[in-house]
Copies of this chain bind each other. A is one copy, B any other.
Amino acid sequence: MKRLPGFRDFYPEPLPDGEAWSANVRKHIFDVWHEIAEFYAFQPYDGPPLEPLSLFTAKSGQEIVGQLYNFEDKGERAVSLRPEMTPTVARMVAARERHYKKPLKWYSIPQLFRYERQQKGRLREHFQFNADIFGEADPAADAELIAMLIDLLRNFNLTAEDFVIRLSSRNAWQDFFNQNGGDESKAYDFYQAVDKLERTAPEESEKKFQALGFTLEQVRDFIDSAEPTEELQAVLDNLAARGMSDFVKIDYNVIRGLAYYTGVVYEAFDRHGKFRAIAGGGRYDQLVSLVSGGKKEIPAAGFAMGDVVLVELLKERGLMPEIPGNIEVYALVEDETKRPPTLSMVQKLREEGWCVDYPFVSMKPDKQIKRALEVGAGFTVRIEDDEFAVLNYFETKQEEKVPFGELGNRMIQIICADDSE
């Protein structure tokens, strides 16, 4: 019995013969994501992991189907595991936006899926932090999102030397395309060619651009000479006011391949150039209209950051969080007559909020101590008599008799005294 190819098991800790993934690392990453989103006053939301296939083709065209984990369900509906969150949130906002004061600031941490037949060994699922602002067309909303992206990365101890947000403008690219006689029906092909420019051989890019009525030189000159547009300058000024200038630069190599971007676009990159983009986003003012069949017009902007590149980057920089074991207290059971009062003590400590473990069955005292050390407990505690327990602090080998009711307070005192030394 094996899991499906491209899916991950999350064991509590990384295994010696396994990946860096673990449920504890994932929980830590999610906790940071939730916390920063909260500081930025974003609200959580979520949608179904399975959606009608048409939701995704409406946004990205039929060509997306080759990359989807799609199938026909028992009710003969064409459905797909979600490959991204944006269509779902656009659907949700279109359905209920009348209930909300704008702007909306929403975030989610969905698991996403894809299935490309050719690409064996590639993950078919990942988790992604998604943030969107609906109902605000001003670049102030783009800046708020970019600031949050910077703080999300900083909170994993990444610095301006580790990453940079490359800022660009789909508007500027569209103007360039139109002013140089681009054929509107081929705009998507052009954006795709620019998007892939850095990863494509020059001769091949030259061929692509010439087919669209451009030269590679012309495109490169535009990238090299481009000045910030008004909206990009507004974003830069806004981030400067927050002291975040070191984390961003204008870079017109970024364009975001997908058809639906309409304004400021950006990607977060490893400064050492080793990894794929860490995160990316931009403005998509037409998307809600597209998903609602033209019924709702709501400006929108957002970004997404996956867990896979983030963990690869943290691992490479030696910044993988060390997750301490969660067990704080190990209760020893000297002999079985002391099991009932031990259980009573364990219960009281847990009710006070201590993370407590103990042996389920009779075990030799030295094996119990060994187990306590293995699970990383700071304290052991054992029943002495009807009133007292013996508390032992591994760090200092301090041992003392403490009345049951005082155990929690005493442990806090010991930890604080140790911390302040």
Contacts and interface: CB of A to CB of B under 8 A. Distances in A.
A355 B327 CA distance: 30
Contacts of A340: 237, 240-241
B241 A344 contact: yes
Given A48-B4, A48-B9, A77-B4, A43 B24 contact: yes
B12 A74 contact: no
A52 B1 contact: yes
Contacts of A360: 103, 136, 138, 140-141, 144
A259 interface: no
Given A94-B1, A237-B340, A360-B138, A111 B39 contact: no
Interface string A345-364: 01100110111110011000
Contact of A69 (B23, B73, B113): B73
A49 to B, nearest CB: 7
Contacts of A361: 136, 138, 140
A44 B71 contact: no
A196 interface: no
Nearest to A326: B38
Contacts of A9: 45-48, 92, 95
A81 B50 CA distance: 10
A71 to B, nearest CB: 4
A41 B356 contact: yes
Interface string A1-17: 11111011111110110
B241 A48 contact: no
B49 A151 contact: no
A115 B73 contact: yes
A39 B291 CA distance: 45
A162 interface: no
Most chain-B Cβ atoms within 10 A of its Cβ — which of A10, A41, A44? A41
A106 interface: yes
A103 B111 CA distance: 30
A101 interface: yes
A72 interface: yes
Contacts of A52: 1-4
Contact of A15 (B73, B96, B101, B347): B96
A109 to B, nearest CB: 10
A340 B143 CA distance: 12
A243 interface: yes
B241 A117 contact: no
A79 interface: yes
Contacts of A81: 50
B147 A293 contact: no
Contacts of A46: 9-10, 23, 26
Given A1-B58, A326-B41, A147 B347 contact: yes
A245 interface: no
Q: Of A39, A71, A99, A347, which is in contact with the most chain B CB atoms at under 10 Å from its CB?
A: A39
A339 interface: yes
A343 interface: yes
Contacts of A23: 43-46, 108
A51 interface: yes
A91 interface: yes
A30 to B, nearest CB: 10
Contacts of A141: 360
A341 interface: yes
Given A10-B45, A11-B92, A241-B343, 11 more contacts: A1-B54, A3-B52, A4-B50, A4-B79, A7-B47, A11-B45, A12-B106, A24-B43, A38-B326, A69-B74, A241-B340
12 contacts: A2-B91, A4-B79, A9-B48, A10-B44, A12-B45, A23-B44, A39-B354, A39-B356, A50-B81, A73-B115, A75-B117, A101-B374
